[in-house]
Amino acid sequence: MTPSSTAPATAAPSAVTEQGPPPLSAARRRLALLALALGGFGIGATEFVAMGLLPDLARDLLPGLVTADPAAAVARAGWLISAYALGVVVGAPVFAILSVRLPRKTLLLLLMAVLAGGTVASAVLPSFGLVLLARFVAALPHGAYFGTAALVAGRLMGPGNQGKGIAFVLSGLTLANVVGVPVITWVGQLAGWRTAYLVVAGLFVLTLVAIVLAVPRQPAPAQASVRTELRVFRLPQLWLMMGVGAIGFGGFFAVYTYIAQVVVVEAGLPARAVPWVLACFGVGMVGGNLVGGWAADRNLRRTVLLGFPVFLAALAGMALLGGTRWGVFAGAFAVGAANMLLIPAVQARLIAVSGDAQLLGAALVHSALNVANSLGAALGGLVIAAGYGYLAPSWMGLGLGVLGLVLALASFSYEDRTRATTTSSGNRPAWTVRP
């Protein structure tokens, strides 16, 4: 591990500020941050709205399979979620590396245009295969948008306030799960899933216009280079923390992906209850994000090591009680809250171990989480197709969470051994990670 591989975890937010804030009025700065958060809101909607509309997607795109085997059809429709997640995984590092010298505002507009175009294609293409491809394309800008928006927000807020700017951008994603996803799911149930995706595309067009009008022009980073960004892949800690995000959070997506079937089939509630259960997920995520960010700032290691058992308990609770009318609401809230309790700490640590590769490190956070999205949706579909029922993904997700905890322990152990070796050699380490 090189000294630059582990910058202070608590300093991660400040690391994303490239220069001082441009001379903006307070009102203009707020409008710029709102524009960036609106993009996060739209991305949250496009990523999660399919979960509540999987039965509708299956009936429209896979009618023959629905007739022969409804459970298998829903599991196949889950591939649309996996395709989106894989698009994020591929697109996050590719966009971050290839666009490292582009002005940030130009990059944001490019990413938003691809998001809008891919979402429109998702809504209008006629076959399952083509919609699958469109979901992959629509996902390519996802991670790079959040990474770039985080850097822009940090610069807008200035020294000492970068964390607030980043949190404001990410609030769009969490609020999408409280308001956007339930409302757009309801629209999709009434007017069809294609209409739901057109609504999301409209959000992206609105965001593009808002960025043009509100976000100030920013020059390209003077010293950024593809070589600097690529060096981060040599760091063992990066891969360990990517594993924590990619495997450890798979359980959340396994539960979320098939929640519509849990509500209707296992809990015996009507389909109109699905948006309300999704709203419980969203409220839990907002609360968990607030607590998780506060806890990570105080002790990152403790937040991770205590947060994972809480997450595992929430998954077990959903598996045991999700088949009851009130248990599914409580389980959704608990899984959403426990998931977001962990994510700020994991994000901070992954950005910290990325060294000088600011944009790539910020984008890789979302790449890792969408590996989890793809893995959770795919494995959840397998256990459902095998006949274990719609609560089985919760048990499978619990196993993934245990693996995530093991990888987190390995990351901290590796750090401790490296620090001990450096200290015993008589050299003062040039880096420190808050324990």
Which residues does 214 contact at the CB level (< 8 Å), separation at least 6? Answer: 28, 31, 32, 34, 35
Whether the CB-CB separation of 29 and 215 falls below 8 Å is answered with no
Query: Is residue 432 in some structural domain?
Result: no
Per-residue pLDDT of the chain (435 residues; tens, 9 = 90+): 333 333 333 334 444 444 444 567 777 888 888 899 999 999 988 887 887 788 888 888 888 887 888 878 887 888 888 788 788 888 888 887 777 778 888 889 999 999 999 999 999 999 999 999 999 999 999 888 987 887 788 778 766 555 556 667 777 888 887 888 888 888 888 888 999 999 999 999 999 999 999 888 877 666 666 776 777 778 888 888 889 989 999 989 888 888 888 998 888 888 888 888 888 888 898 888 778 877 877 788 888 999 999 999 999 999 999 889 899 999 999 999 999 888 878 877 877 777 667 677 777 777 888 788 778 888 988 888 888 889 999 999 999 999 999 999 998 888 888 776 655 555 444 333 333
H helices within 128-192, ranges in order?
Answer: 128-139, 142-157, 162-175, 181-191
4: in domain: no
In a domain, 147, yes or no: yes
CA distance 137 to 46: 12
In a domain, 108, yes or no: yes
Q: Is 2 among the domain residues? A: no
Using CA atoms, how far apart are residues 435 and 432, in angstroms rounded to an integer? 9
What is the torsion angle, in degrees rounded to the nearest 10, for the CA atoms of residue 47, residue 239, residue 17 and residue 92? -40
Domain contains 3: no
d(CA 417, CA 343): 25
- DSSP H or E run through 266: none
In a domain, 113, yes or no: yes
Nearest to 379 by CA among 406, 402, 399: 399
CATH number for 112: 1.20.1250.20
Domain that holds residue 333: 14-420
Domain count across the chain: 1
User: Which has the closest alpha carbon to 344: 292, 408, 412?
Assistant: 292
Flag whether 434 is in a domain.
no
